[in-house]
Structure 1
Amino acid sequence: MPREKGEKVVATNRKARHDYTIEDTYEAGIVLSGTEVKSLREGKASLVDGYAFIDGGELWLDAVHIPEWGSGSWTNHATRRKRKLLLHKEQIVKISHRTKEGGYTLVPLSIYFKDGRAKVELAIAKGKREYDKRQALRERQDKREADRAMASRRHLGE
């Protein structure tokens, strides 16, 4: 069977972009069991509580929910287990130095298939304060209103 081409997004963490200021992103491979891959191919996963951490020079993804595969038997996987991430050693060291700085954390932004292989997009992020979140919402709302006004003005001019 030929390997599929392109990207197929399985899950995104939309709340992460609201709660954190994204500094840097990385693409990492994920070590998965067979039933996890099948469940992901069905488009089932949740990144809501997920986070990544470095332990013993290895990168791990934890608290990401991949539900059990429907047709699985006793071989099914645990839904919220620790999963190893695959990155180059230099990248892990670089991430380690960044996360040791105050306030930085590793957040998964999305899980997707790239050319048939499961990948996760990780971000080095800094938590936003409440007023930062409100300001970002206000800016987005102001931009939307300005765009609407411009569109209505354009429409009247025709």
Structure 2
Amino acid sequence: MRFFETNPTATIQDLCDIFYDNYENRVIHITLSSLNHMAKANRDKQIQDKYSQYKVHLDTDKTINGELRVITIKPNHKNFYAGESDVKAHVPFGNTSMECKIKSTDEYQYTITYKSDAIDKRLLTRLDAGAGTHRNKAPGIPLELTSVPTPHYHEYRNDGYDTRLFHLN
């Protein structure tokens, strides 16, 4: 019996405690599928249902209305400056906007987020830069693609899972 299948709410600390107790001859079988209980990917059902509209919208021309000025200190992240501007798309997908956040102590650590009110989560895509390596949690990702360095780009797949894409030019 696998630990995480019998303890679906287990944490990393629980896992560390088990390894610490290993001297008591406890046998543990851990597989990648059992670790998925700890870091389960979130599926956006609305994106899955509207995927063809989502993809057409992403591929269409867009313009930012006015200036995108990154000058406001984020109330919930005091070490980040942020700015947001409305975006007009040739093929609309609700009301869309673009937000840029830049870390005040490191101008190379920033996030550019493209959002819409057409879905509850609002996030359509995101570019992350300078914040280290992140993990692709979506099912079916080959092991060699689960660790994604920055900069990387988030985009939804047709099954509604958010994936991180990394391209070297």
- TM superposition score normalised by structure 2: 0.24
In terms of fraction of residues, the more helix-rich structure is 1
Higher RCO (Cα < 8 Å, 6 or more apart): 1
